């Protein structure tokens, strides 16, 4: 600054405080929807991973021309194959986040890609603000993901 200049550069304390107040209000309004979006993305990604795991399991049964088992474990879904007379876990799926719950079920996948009975798996975080999903599988082996409010059949 030049001595004797009547123009002062910079911001006053009042201007900085008002800007900070406005910024705080905008962030506080946006934060709840941002958190909701993160929770929703967690459910969607876990539903997609579960669907991919099922499709992988089905394709392996067809590719290997043998019956495989999907075995429900309390915290994961195991793909088992009969190797040398024993059922061995060859792949597994578990949710990536502790807030997500999945209702696993035991199923047998035949060498033609069919399963022993239809499947309806709920993927939820038990939060009313987010949309829960279902992995639906027909006995023919066809699968899709739908909203939990709509039943599979």
pTM, whole model, 2 decimals? 0.81
pLDDT number for residue 131: 94
| pLDDT (0 to 100) of residue 135 | 95
Give the closest residue to 110 by CA, choosing from 63, 67, 80.
67
SS3 call for 102: strand
**DSSP letter, residue 120:** E
Per run of 10 residues, the mean pLDDT along the chain (length 153 residues) is: 68 90 86 88 95 96 96 93 94 92 95 95 93 95 92 77
Q: Please report the domains of the chain, with CATH numbers, ordered by start residue.
A: 13-147 (3.55.40.10)
């Amino acid at each position: 600054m030049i001595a004797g200049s009547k123009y002062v550069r910079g911001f006053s304390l009042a201007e900085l405080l008002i800007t900070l107040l406005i910024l705080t209000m905008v962030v506080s309004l946006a934060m709840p929807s941002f958190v909701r979006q993160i929770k929703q993305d967690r459910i969607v990604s876990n539903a997609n991973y579960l669907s991919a795991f099922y499709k992988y399991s089905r394709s392996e049964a067809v590719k290997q021309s043998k019956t495989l088992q999907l075995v429900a474990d309390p915290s994961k879904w195991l793909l088992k194959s009969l190797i040398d007379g024993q059922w061995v876990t060859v792949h597994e799926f578990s949710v990536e986040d502790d807030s997500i719950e999945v209702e696993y079920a035991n199923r047998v996948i035949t060498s033609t890609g069919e399963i022993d009975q239809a499947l309806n798996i709920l993927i939820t975080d038990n939060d009313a603000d987010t949309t829960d999903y279902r992995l639906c599988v027909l006995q023919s082996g066809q699968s899709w993901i739908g909203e939990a409010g709509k039943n599979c059949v």
